[in-house]
Amino acid sequence: MVSAAVALAFVPLLLSLLLRYRHHAALLCRAALAPWLRERLGGAPREQRALRFVLAHAAPGDPRHVLRTLDRWSEAREHLSSVGPRKGRILERLLRERAPLAVLELGTYCGYATVLLAQGLPPGARLYTVEMDPRHAAVAEKVIRLAGFDERTVELIVGRSEEVIPRLREKHGLRKADFVFMDHWKRCYLRDLQLLEAHDLLAEGATVLADNVIFPGAPHFLQYAKTCGKYRCKVHRTSLEYFRAIPDGVAELTYAGPR
């Protein structure tokens, strides 16, 4: 009787937690559990399923239509961890304002942000995008080329960011980046920012954008950016891609040079 009474006492708390975090539970189901179950039952990885959908429905050579098709997939079918349309507008606006000639993306995934960045580049600009997972890179390659961008505009580099960054100048010809977009493993943000500094790959005044700094979060990266004296830092408050009820943010750093 005592144990039953104790269990009943926790019911209101459990109901309250379920109600409060119902959107996070929905994200867990759509982003992790459902894809995992489909793959265990013999289906292709969700990125491959998304690619098949894009190849079947997107207009070749039309970057915006490719992005809208990826949005349709993520909104109605399975969640992809892409920047999405709401945060994408922040990215587009800043890219338009800065007009960078050398752009570096860390975390290509399926190529959503790569296409978004590439379509906003000024004439003569070049985008270098780094993806550690060869399977994701293979999907991204097809998405990027379907959108109409060739190797002269977008160079896709497969490898771990901590190994690629030190070779960017010598092997890939990136002297300094004017614009950096981070959307890979959040725990790598701070390490890779410091690697870019150590290898003198950030132009003075360069913009560094980092996605998902609130959810799932990158607290050490934000603390460093705000306190090291090398950056002006602001956070654009928004929501998680395709889940408006989950708060998120994009950090905007402006590099002032070494201190």
**Where do the H-state alpha helices sit in the chain?**
2-20, 22-28, 34-40, 46-57, 63-76, 84-98, 112-119, 134-146, 161-164, 168-172, 189-198, 219-227
Q: Of 212, 230, 248, 252, which one is the catalytic site residue?
A: 212
Q: Of 211, 230, 248, 252, which one is the catalytic site residue?
A: 211
Q: Of 183, 192, 248, 252, which one is the catalytic site residue?
A: 183
Rounded alpha-carbon distances, angstroms, from residue 256 to 28, 203, 211:
39, 9, 21
248 classed as catalytic? no
CA 3, CA 118: separation in Å to the nearest integer? 61
178 classed as catalytic? no
Q: Of 131, 141, 241, 248, which one is the catalytic site residue?
A: 241
183 classed as catalytic? yes
186 classed as catalytic? yes
Q: Of 87, 176, 186, 230, which one is the catalytic site residue?
A: 186
CA 207, CA 125: separation in Å to the nearest integer? 15
User: What is the residue type of 192?
Assistant: D
Nearest Cα to Cα of residue 111 among 168, 165, 54: 54
212 classed as catalytic? yes
**Whether the Cβ atoms of residue 82 and residue 173 lie closer than 8 Å to each other:** no
* Enzyme catalytic residues: 183, 186, 211-212, 241
